Structure 1
Amino acid sequence: MGGELKVLDALDAAKTQWYHFTAIVIAGMGFFTDAYDLFSISLVTKLLGRIYYFDPTSKTPGTLPPNVSAAVNGVAFCGTLAGQLFFGWLGDKLGRKKVYGMTLMIMVLCCVASGLSFGSGAGGVMATLCFFRFWLGFGIGGDYPLSATIMSEYANKRTRGAFVAAVFAMQGFGNLTGGVVAIVVSAAFKRRFDAPAFKDDPAGSTVPQADLAWRIVLMFGAVPALLTYYWRMKMPETARYTALVAKNNKQATADMERVLNVQLAKDEDAPERRQEQFGLFSREFLKRHGRHLLGTTVCWFVLDIAFYSQNLFQKDIYAAVGWLPRADTMNALQEMFSISRAQTLVALCGTIPGYWFTVFLIDVLGRFAIQLGGFFFMTAFMLGLAVPYDHWTNTNPAGFVVMFAFTFFFANFGPNSTTFIVPAEIFPARLRSTCHGVSAAAGKAGAIVGSFGFLYAAQSPDPAKAEAGYPPGIGVRNSLFLLAGCNVVGFFFTFLVPESKGKSLEELSGENQEDDDAAAAAAASQCTSTTPAPPTA
Structure 2
Amino acid sequence: MAEGTQAIFSSLDNARTQLYHFKAIVIAGMGFFTDAYDLFCITTVTKLIGRLYYYDPTVAGGPKPGTLPKNISNAITGVALVGTLAGQLFFGWLGDRLGRKKVYGITLVTMVGCALASGLSFGSSAKSVIGSLCFFRFWLGFGIGGDYPLSAVIMSEYANKRTRGAFIAAVFAMQGMGILFAGVISLIFSGIFLHVYNAPAFNRNHVLSAQPQGDYLWRIVLMFGAVPAALTYYWRMKMPETARYTALVEGNQKKAAVDMAKVLDTDLTVATSAYPVPVSPEASTYGLFSKEFVQKHGLHLLGTTSTWFLLDIAFYTINLAQKDIYPATGIVRKAAAMDAIEEVFRISKAMFLVALFATVPGYWFTVFLIDRIGRFIIQLGGFLLMSICMAILGARYDSLRGKKCDPKKDPLHEYCDGNHAWFMILYGLTLFFANFGPNSTTFIVPAELFPARLRSTCHGISAAAGKAGAIVGAFGVQYYTQKGDKQIKQSIITLAVVNFLGFLCSFMVPETNGLSLEELSGEDKEIAAVTNGIATNGKHEHEDSQMV
Q: TM-score under structure 2 normalisation?
A: 0.92
- Asked whether 1:501 is paired with 2:513, we answer yes
What are the residue-to-residue correspondences of 1:364-383 with 2, within 5 Å? 364-383=372-391
Residue 202 (structure 1) shift? 5.7
Structure 2: 5+ residue runs without aligned partners?
403-417
SS in 2 for 1:370: helix
Amino acid aligned to 2:398: D
Bigger shift: residues 263-272 or 86-95: 263-272
Query: C-alpha separation between the residues in 2 aligned to 1:530 and 1:291?
Result: 44
Specify the alignment match of 1:138 in structure 2. 142
Partner of 1:423: 446
* Residue 282 (structure 2) aligns with: 276
How far 1:18 moved relative to its partner? 0.3
Which of 173, 178, 188 is 1:174 aligned to? 178
Is residue 41 of structure 1 aligned with residue 64 of structure 2?
Answer: no
CA distance in 2 between partners of 1:328 and 1:212 (Å): 22
Q: How big is each residue's C-alpha offset from its partner over 1:301-344, in whole Å with a ceiling of 9 and x where there is no partner?
A: 01011000011112212222333211000000111111111111
Maintained 8 Å contact 1:195/1:206: no
2:278 and 2:71 mapped to 1: Cα distance? 57
Q: Partner of 2:400 in structure 1?
A: 392
**Alpha carbons 1:276, 1:518 under 8 Å: kept:** no
The one-letter amino acid paired with 2:45 is: V
CA contact (8 A) 1:198 1:205 kept: no
Matched, 1:344 2:352: yes
Give the counterpart letter for 2:525 in structure 1. Q
SS at match of 1:124: helix
In structure 2, distance between residues paired with 1:69 and 1:258: 49
Show the counterpart of 2:103. 99
Instruction: Name the CA shift for 1:192/1:199 in 2 (closer, same or farther; >3 Å).
Output: closer
SS of alignment partner, residue 430 of structure 1: coil
Q: Give SS of 2:188's match.
A: helix
* Deviations, residues 203-249 of structure 1 (Å, cap 9, x unaligned): 77521000000000000000000000000000000000000001110
Q: Residue 451 of structure 1 aligns to which amino acid in structure 2?
A: A
Matched with 1:229 is 233
| Partner of residue 14, structure 1 | 15
Distance in 1, matches of 2:532 and 2:232, equals: 46
Contact 2:35 2:144 in 1 (8 A): yes
Judge conservation of contact 1:111–1:221 (CA < 8 Å) in 2: yes
Say if 1:199 and 1:329, in contact at 8 Å, map to a contact too: no
Distance 2:259 2:280 in 1: 23
Distance in structure 2 (CA, Å) of the matches to 1:284 and 1:303: 29
Structure 1 residue 325 and structure 2 residue 333: aligned? yes
Q: State yes or no: 1:52 paired with 2:61.
A: no
1:415-453 deviation digits (Å, cap 9, x = unpaired): 000000000000000000000000000001111111111
Looking at structure 2, the residues matched to 132 and 198 of structure 1 have their Cα atoms a distance apart, in angstroms, of: 35
- Return the alpha-carbon distance in structure 2 between the equivalents of residues 521 and 244 of structure 1: 17
For 1:476, the equivalent position in structure 2 comes to: 488
Please identify runs of 4+ aligned residues in structure 1 that moved more than 4 A: 202-205, 269-272, 517-532
What SS is found at the alignment partner of 1:325?
A: coil
Say which of 429, 448, 456 aligns to 2:471: 448
Name the residue aligned to 2:311: 303
For 2:144, the aligned partner's letter is I
Alpha-carbon shift at residue 485 of structure 1 (Å): 1.2
Q: Distance in 2 between matches of 1:262 and 1:525?
A: 32
Paired position in structure 2 for 1:257: 261
Q: 2:223 aligns with which of 219, 230, 235?
A: 219
1:197 Cα shift?
4.3
Distance 1:444 1:498 in 2: 22
Is contact 1:195-1:204 (8 Å) kept? no
Q: Secondary structure at the match of 1:2?
A: helix
Q: Which moved more, 1:373-382 or 1:506-515?
A: 506-515
Contact 1:199 / 1:328 at 8 angstroms: preserved in 2?
no
Contact preservation (8 Å) 2:244, 2:452: yes
Q: Distance in 2 between matches of 1:274 and 1:438?
A: 24
Number of the residue aligned with 1:438: 461
Instruction: Write the distance in 2 (CA, Å) between the matches of 1:378 and 1:255.
Output: 43
Contact 2:65–2:209 (Cα < 8 Å) also in 1: no
> Hey, what does 1:209 align to over in structure 2?
213
Q: Which amino acid aligns with 1:276?
A: E
Counterpart of 1:273, as a letter, is V
Judge conservation of contact 1:423–1:436 (CA < 8 Å) in 2: yes
Instruction: Return the alpha-carbon distance in structure 2 between the equivalents of residues 385 and 199 of structure 1.
Output: 37
Which one of the candidate residues 503, 527, 538 is aligned to 1:515? 527
Structure 1: runs of 5 or more not aligned: 462-472, 533-537
User: Could you tell me whether the CA contact under 8 Å between 2:45 and 2:218 is conserved in 1?
Assistant: yes
CA shift for structure 1 position 272: 6.1
Task: Give 1:138's aligned amino acid.
Answer: F
Q: 1:7 to 1:318 in 2, by over 3 A?
A: same
- Contact 2:11–2:267 (8 Å) recurs in 1: no
**C-alpha separation between the residues in 2 aligned to 1:77 and 1:153?**
27
Distance 1:364 1:296 in 2: 21
Normalised by the size of structure 1, how large is the TM-score?
Answer: 0.94
Distance in 2 separating the partners of 1:2 and 1:528: 19
Question: Which digits, 9 at most, give the CA deviation of each residue in 1:115-167, with x for residues without a partner?
Answer: 00011110000000000000000000000000000000000000000000000
The offset of 1:392, in angstroms, is 0.8
Identity value in percent = 62
The alpha carbon displacement at 1:459 in A equals 1.8
For the 8 Å contact 2:65–2:208, the answer to whether it is kept is no
Asked whether 1:490 is paired with 2:502, we answer yes
Distance (Å, rounded) in 1 between the aligned partners of 2:516 and 2:207: 63
> 1:83–1:139: 8 Å Cα contact kept in structure 2?
yes
Q: How does 1:228-247 map to 2 (within 5 A)?
A: 228-247=232-251
Amino acid at match of 2:246: T
User: Is the CA contact 1:195–1:205 (under 8 Å) kept in the aligned structure 2?
Assistant: no
Distance 2:204 2:120 in 1: 32
Inter-partner Cα distance in structure 1 for 2:237 and 2:471: 32
Alignment RMSD: 1.9
